[in-house]
Structure 1
Amino acid sequence: MTPAQTIARTYQRIRDHNDPAIFITLRNEAEAIAEAEALAAKDAAALPLYGVPVAVKDNIDVAGLPTTAACPAFAYNPTRDASAVARLRAAGAIIIGKTNLDQFATGLVGVRSPYGIPKNSVRADLVPGGSSSGSAVAVGAGLVPLTLGTDTAGSGRVPAMLNNIVGLKPSLGLIPTAGVLPACRTLDCVSIFTLTVDDAMTALSVMGGYDAQDPYSQRREVGSLTAFPHGLKLGVPRSGQLIFFGDAQSEKAYADALKRWQSLGATLVEFDLEPFYETARLLYDGPWVAERLLVIRDLLASAPDAVHPVTREITLAGNRISAADTFAALYRLQEVKRVADATFAGIDALVLPTAPTAYTTEQVLANPIELNSRLGTYTNFVNLLDLCGLAIPAAMRGDGIPFGITLLAPGGADAKLASIGRVFHADTKLAVSGKAVPQPELAPVAAPPSDTIEIAVVGAHLTGMALNRELQELDGKFVKETTTAADYKFFALSGTVPPKPGLLRVAEGSGAEIVVEVWSLTPAAFGTFVAGIPSPLSIGTLKLADGSQVKGFLVEAAATEGARDISSYGGWRAYMADKK
């Protein structure tokens, strides 16, 4: 089909589906088709989203369409696209409309809008999930293959589960938020809804990247998909820590998902979930409620009845937060972040239920705040801890309610989560969306370009560590995490700033396996990187556990005299976490 035919079909599907609560504003169909026809003059191969119809949550600016945030009294008419939308257009996407949401992106249920409640695409009596309700339903109902949401406390993940689709919540600052109406500006992310993980990564590769116009943009790389890693370790909560609010079917679905991970070769490692629960409580019991208030306090003062009653009740609580309360919460958050860092020292990602259960619209309208809060049990802490997340379908329960899991990892590991999540989703063989469409065959991951050089890093250059930016600034690509052969000793070097380890080769089999990350660099970037390595470190050839060889960091033997042997930790993250 041509792009114009695809766009025409999209509008016909919207008419046939006949749910006026999904979209707040639809773009003029003739205008959208004309834009699609103009793509014929462009090189399709150079446009990764050539002719793809996209819908955008109505708290994200699209030039020519009003931004309402589901509050007519607040509406304004932007003259330029949000940065994320502009990047979609530049990649060939066609914007077809603005989708409904929980007003001012406050809610996880999708029922707090004067524009109606979108019907869940899987089971009509269920809530659609929020706040990105219209965006999730538009994908789940087969109206468009890609939509944008936002995610502050789970709004890009909970509705993904409830509509049996993929929800990608990127690392903070990876997709610019310029042109996005804030909920909590320090925590907001533009999120992505698609049918598959690969589609979500295509969209992320288009929108991700630094934006000098956005003060919250960060210099983070999207990364590339890799093969499913050997020795994958996934964190699961300790026995008795999970909460399902009496939903035995969700509890069983989660247990089955863990068995699937094990069958794929993952090792499950228990961790303490309580600090994460504590962080979640900070979001709505702490000063971030006041941050939500900032956006609409003038409207609340001049026309309080224009704000949804539940939204009004939640945000007005921000008036009770003092400056002292704010600093106390920030101090505690910093302490809990250290605990979270230590948790990830020995694992690749956490695997949690996306939500503990599901509720009908009738149930939520009768108990709007408590049930909404329950849906955020496993999502509210994520942005406060600067984690990235990927929500993927895991099962279709016997009662027709979809169940999903979410992978979580430190910021910057988006491609890593996608690389493992895509394999899990494919292995479920679940039909996608509310239309029960068969999953496409999982495409093989392209091998790293032959004109790159792989290098193994062991210390301060690991993802999230102090010097990882040096790899990112050279456009380095994360390839995989693995371990060396047991031919090395590992030392904490003295007097290095930032702290650095040294990897010393010893007799074959007389050392320990040490965790390394393998990155790829162009030859020019590799030369630049190596030229900046200070003595006593150097680049040599490392032997990995699978017998392969790769360039990597080694240390001069003289520098290890008197240095602490930390080989027993098995890696730098574990040592640094214990040191804290």
Structure 2
Amino acid sequence: MDFLQNDLTTLHEKLLNKEVSAVELTEATLAGIKTSDQKFEAYINLMEEQALQDAAAVDAAGVDANNVLSGIPYAIKDNILTKDVETTAASHILEGFKPVFDATVVDNLRHAGAIGVGKTNLDEFAMGSTGETSYYKTTKNAWDQSKVPGGSSSGSAVTVAAGQVPFALGSDTGGSIRQPAAFNGIVGMKPSYGRVSRWGVIAFASSLDQVGQFTRTVKDNAAVLNALAGHDPQDQTTSQRAVPDFTSSLNGDIKGLRIAVPKEYFGAGVNAEVKTIIHQAIAQLEALGAKVDEVSLPHTKYGVAAYYILGSAEASSNLQRFDGIRYGFRAENAKSLEELYVQTRTQGFGDEVKQRIMLGTYSLSAGAYETFFKKAAQVRTLMNRDFENVFANYDLIVAPATPNVAYGFGQNEDDPEITYMNDVLTIPVNMAGLPGLSINAGFSKGLPVGMQLIGNRFAEETVYRAAYAFEQATRLFEQVPGGK
């Protein structure tokens, strides 16, 4: 089954017409992954037995004619809990951990009839923007295997871009869906904070994390969000507002849409060719009837610094639970309880995770709290006000998703600041809890360039409407990776 040539609607019709059964589709998907994944290394493990059981259940009950996800295989980022299936967050410290329940998003998709086929690779505990910090393997970019795939949702982005599955789940704390979506030329959506449940998602930074999805097309992406979104009694941060049909506004009409282009998102550090391609894409939106103005988001420049203080502080708190006592890896030959804690965490966590725990613990300490954590929280408030001021007059913000295209492995390993700056354009969306989507806007040196569309809180419909109009006008999704 070639998922690069079949969208969800086409697959749904084939299942309904009995051209293929859910079991056959799942078997073909698993076979395709086994054949191609040596090239991409997108998966930590496959859920073969569970997937075939779920597919057989769909066939026995009959494919749901009113549900486009019924019988459709998909992949799950390995920081999202799957009952009785190993969930590692790509960390040694969780090796062998099998959860006793499913995350709400997995449960929602199972009720929709979707078939989870495997757990995808990521930066350890979702901390990283290149896909290089996983304990298990290094995922390769779908377009050029000598380039990074982006992170932290590296495996989920690549498995969709490479045509192994029609859609995949990811999580986004500071750009971890949009950045790998940009590097791999697909559609990646980070919904509004509270739109999708985080219950059963291994926490990095609880006030910033959000589950989202990767697809090849905008319509597919909207259809998946229909199944994921909604209030969850187990997650008190989820919104109780009604969930619309996100596919209903996809008509290609954006006449009169008011688009803001923030000058700070085109500043120093953003590649010149990326700027040119994004400006051309904005001109395409204008040609479709949108009204475009330049605006300012003046506190953007403080976003990376504030994010790494706040995110690391929350991470240092969230990761205290991994101590070798209840689950996962446990260091051997410890002579005391304290030594067990220290050795388990020393051996179990990678360098990037340790670095963020240390930064977060320091910023929460008595001597540094006022200077760092409190100031970062104040900056976050100012960034939120910047967005509120813009959305008082505009429907959408459009900008690059990343400052550059995918680059070579190890290229910036001696300068973590450069790696951190790869998230400079995506971090503000998480700080403000807004929906943000990355869509392919063109190519530079044969690699995709991502355009980011940012909506007001809970305005995913507006984001999808503009993205769909652009997609249908350019048909860039028809260009697929050839591989190198």
TM-score, normalising length from structure 1? Answer: 0.71
How far does residue 288 in structure 1 lie from its aligned partner after superposition?
A: 2.6
Partner of 1:27: 47
Equivalent of 1:290 in 309, 313, 322: 313
Aligned residues: 433
The answer to whether structure 1 residue 312 and structure 2 residue 335 are counterparts is no
- Greater CA radius of gyration, 1 or 2? 1
The answer as to whether partners of 1:121 and 1:434 remain within 8 angstroms in 2 is no
Equivalent of 1:95 in 116, 124, 128: 116
- Name the aligned partner's letter for residue 393 of structure 1: N
The answer to whether structure 1 residue 353 and structure 2 residue 372 are counterparts is no
Partner of 1:37: 56
Partner Cα separation in structure 2 for residue 188 and residue 195 of structure 1: 23
3-state secondary structure, aligned to 1:383: helix
5 Å-filtered alignment, 1:9-408, equals 9-19=28-38, 21-28=41-48, 30-43=49-62, 44-75=64-95, 76-224=97-245, 225-226=248-249, 227=251, 228-238=253-263, 242-243=266-267, 245=269, 247-284=271-308, 286-297=309-320, 299=323, 301-302=342-343, 303-322=345-364, 323-324=369-370, 325-364=372-411, 366-367=413-414, 369-397=416-444, 399-408=445-454
Partner Cα separation in structure 1 for residue 205 and residue 413 of structure 2: 27
- Name the aligned partner's letter for residue 34 of structure 1: Q
Q: Point out where structure 1 has 5 or more consecutive residues left out of the alignment.
A: 438-580
| CA separation of 1:309 and 1:365: change in aligned 2, threshold 3 A | farther
The answer as to whether partners of 2:297 and 2:386 remain within 8 angstroms in 1 is no
The answer as to whether partners of 2:270 and 2:403 remain within 8 angstroms in 1 is no
How far does residue 365 in structure 1 lie from its aligned partner after superposition?
A: 5.4
3-state secondary structure, aligned to 2:128: coil
Partner of 2:5: none
Partner Cα separation in structure 2 for residue 301 and residue 294 of structure 1: 16
| CA separation of 1:154 and 1:241: change in aligned 2, threshold 3 A | closer
How far does residue 431 in structure 1 lie from its aligned partner after superposition?
A: 3.6
Equivalent of 1:4 in 12, 18, 23: 23
Equivalent of 1:429 in 468, 475, 484: 475
| CA separation of 1:229 and 1:248: change in aligned 2, threshold 3 A | closer
Partner Cα separation in structure 1 for residue 205 and residue 41 of structure 2: 25
- Stretches (4+) displaced over 4 A: none
How far does residue 233 in structure 1 lie from its aligned partner after superposition?
A: 1.1
The answer as to whether partners of 1:349 and 1:407 remain within 8 angstroms in 2 is yes
| CA separation of 1:245 and 1:147: change in aligned 2, threshold 3 A | same
How far does residue 80 in structure 1 lie from its aligned partner after superposition?
A: 1.1
Partner Cα separation in structure 2 for residue 361 and residue 410 of structure 1: 35
Residues 232-286 of structure 1, C-alpha deviation per residue, up to 9 Å, x if partnerless? 1111123x761363632212211211211111111111111322332343101x3
How far does residue 222 in structure 1 lie from its aligned partner after superposition?
A: 3.4
CA RMSD of aligned residues (A): 2.0
Q: Does 1 or 2 have the higher relative contact order (CA < 8 Å, sep 6+)?
A: 2
Residues 334-356 of structure 1, C-alpha deviation per residue, up to 9 Å, x if partnerless? 23322320111111110010101
- Name the aligned partner's letter for residue 283 of structure 1: Y
Q: Percent identity?
A: 31
Residues 468-512 of structure 1, C-alpha deviation per residue, up to 9 Å, x if partnerless? xxxxxxxxxxxxxxxxxxxxxxxxxxxxxxxxxxxxxxxxxxxxx
- Name the aligned partner's letter for residue 221 of structure 2: A
How far does residue 415 in structure 1 lie from its aligned partner after superposition?
A: 1.3
The answer as to whether partners of 2:302 and 2:379 remain within 8 angstroms in 1 is no
How far does residue 436 in structure 1 lie from its aligned partner after superposition?
A: 6.6
- Name the aligned partner's letter for residue 68 of structure 1: T
How far does residue 157 in structure 1 lie from its aligned partner after superposition?
A: 0.3
Partner Cα separation in structure 2 for residue 331 and residue 243 of structure 1: 24
How far does residue 435 in structure 1 lie from its aligned partner after superposition?
A: 3.5
Partner Cα separation in structure 1 for residue 297 and residue 470 of structure 2: 23
Does 325-334 or 226-235 show the bigger shift?
325-334
How far does residue 315 in structure 1 lie from its aligned partner after superposition?
A: 2.7
| CA separation of 1:275 and 1:372: change in aligned 2, threshold 3 A | same
Partner Cα separation in structure 2 for residue 241 and residue 22 of structure 1: 30
3-state secondary structure, aligned to 2:454: strand
The answer as to whether partners of 1:208 and 1:222 remain within 8 angstroms in 2 is yes
| CA separation of 1:328 and 1:366: change in aligned 2, threshold 3 A | closer
| CA separation of 1:148 and 1:219: change in aligned 2, threshold 3 A | same
How far does residue 219 in structure 1 lie from its aligned partner after superposition?
A: 1.6
| CA separation of 1:229 and 1:430: change in aligned 2, threshold 3 A | closer
Partner Cα separation in structure 1 for residue 88 and residue 436 of structure 2: 27
- Name the aligned partner's letter for residue 174 of structure 1: R
| CA separation of 1:386 and 1:360: change in aligned 2, threshold 3 A | same
Residues 525-544 of structure 1, C-alpha deviation per residue, up to 9 Å, x if partnerless? xxxxxxxxxxxxxxxxxxxx
TM-score, normalising length from structure 2? Answer: 0.85
How far does residue 432 in structure 1 lie from its aligned partner after superposition?
A: 4.4
